[in-house]
């Protein structure tokens, strides 16, 4: 059982909270129709801070299960002002703790402001509603705000810009937790659009985070934050506080990938976003994500997506 926590606070958009609750219920039904013991089941819980300085508490939409774990948190948009003061600090601390324990964190629209308080977005790209991009950048200068992107999927953190983007982030999480076929069937049932690039070229990189190895998880968060650029095995082992051979063994056991393979997926994921949403040259994109050898970049990109960078842009790039 995987638990998805939806944050509920005064002024939160109820359409997002209830819409996501329904979306995950439909995804559960689609997964159940597969009669597969390999697919987990999703449980949705609503979280709130009942009073300042108190830890968030949850209300379940179904009976709690001791086997459930918090696999993701979604911060809905606000219809009024975002939480402030002690309440915001307490909620941000809980979000950060949950992320450190392996939960994927997603924000919708102005939910990025609360996510930014956690510090998890420092040094990363993030998006929010286009009318508040300058305000977000001003309040949190360590962020790289890009409101031209409707969604920025950074593996362990996902931010979206639209007020009604709850369906897209919900489908991304279904894709991540239950697989692309369940996400596609859920989207078809709801008659909403789902990302063609994720469906046809495999999902954007979905790292395994809920493995319970804190040392490896620390390295994963570090790699997602810096884009896996200019990192070495020695630096990763040092970040984990482990001897290199021990780190290699534990990293592969936890993530299913060698550190070099993991870094390739992180870099290609960022390159895919740039190919979809920018007009930068392929050489520039290769350099930006950490490849000085464009030929090596093209080889790795095609290995992961089954398309060359130019083919990928031609198929999924934003049309002028």
For the chain, give the number of residues. 320
Domain boundary among 143, 166, 200: 200
3-class DSSP state of 10 = coil
Beta bridge mates, 126: 145
Number of structural domains the chain divides into: 2
DSSP 78: B
Check whether 199 has a pLDDT greater than 80: no
Boundaries of domain holding 240: 214-316
Check whether 52 has a pLDDT greater than 60: no
CATH code for position 31: 3.40.50.880
**Do 232 and 299 have their domain in common?**
yes
Q: Which residue has the higher pLDDT, 134 or 59?
A: 134
DSSP 183: H
Cβ neighbours around 45 below 10 Å, total? 19
- Over residues 231-242, the mean pLDDT reads 95
Which segments of 81-233 are extended strands (E)? 104-108, 125-126, 144-145, 151-153, 157-160
Cβ neighbours around 107 below 10 Å, total? 29
pTM to 2 decimal places: 0.75
Residue 10: inside a domain: yes
Check whether 67 has a pLDDT greater than 80: no
**Do 39 and 181 have their domain in common?**
yes
- Over residues 300-312, the mean pLDDT reads 92
**Do 144 and 100 have their domain in common?**
yes
pLDDT of residue 314: 87
Domain boundary among 175, 200, 225: 200
């Amino acid at each position: 059982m995987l638990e998805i926590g939806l944050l509920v606070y005064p002024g939160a958009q109820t359409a997002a909270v209830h819409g996501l609750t329904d979306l995950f219920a439909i995804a559960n039904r689609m997964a159940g129709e597969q009669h597969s013991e390999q697919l987990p089941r999703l449980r949705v819980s609503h979280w709130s801070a009942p009073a300042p300085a108190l830890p968030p508490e949850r209300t379940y939409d179904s009976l709690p299960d001791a086997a459930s774990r918090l696999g993701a948190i979604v911060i809905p948009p606000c219809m009024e002002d975002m939480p402030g003061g002690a309440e915001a600090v307490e909620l941000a601390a809980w979000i950060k703790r949950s992320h450190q324990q392996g939960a994927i964190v997603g924000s919708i629209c102005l939910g990025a402001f609360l996510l930014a308080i956690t510090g998890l977005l420092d040094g990363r790209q993030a998006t929010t509603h286009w009318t508040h991009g300058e305000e977000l950048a001003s309040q949190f200068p360590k962020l790289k705000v890009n409101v031209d992107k409707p969604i920025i999927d950074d593996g362990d953190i996902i931010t979206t810009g639209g007020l009604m983007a709850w369906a897209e982030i919900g489908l991304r999480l279904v894709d991540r937790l239950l697989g692309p076929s369940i996400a596609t069937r859920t989207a078809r049932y709801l008659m909403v659009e789902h990302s063609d690039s994720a469906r046809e070229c495999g999902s954007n990189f979905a790292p395994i985070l809920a493995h319970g190895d804190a040392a490896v998880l620390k390295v994963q968060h570090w790699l997602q934050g810096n884009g896996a650029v200019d990192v070495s095995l020695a630096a990763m082992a040092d970040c984990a506080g482990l001897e290199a051979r021990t780190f290699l063994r534990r990293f592969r056991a936890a993530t299913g990938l060698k550190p070099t393979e993991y870094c390739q997926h992180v870099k290609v994921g960022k390159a895919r976003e740039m190919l979809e949403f920018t007009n930068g040259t392929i050489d520039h994109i290769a350099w930006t994500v950490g490849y000085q050898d464009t030929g090596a970049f093209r080889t790795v990109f095609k290995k992961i997506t089954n398309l060359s960078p130019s083919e990928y842009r031609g198929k999924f790039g934003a049309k002028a």
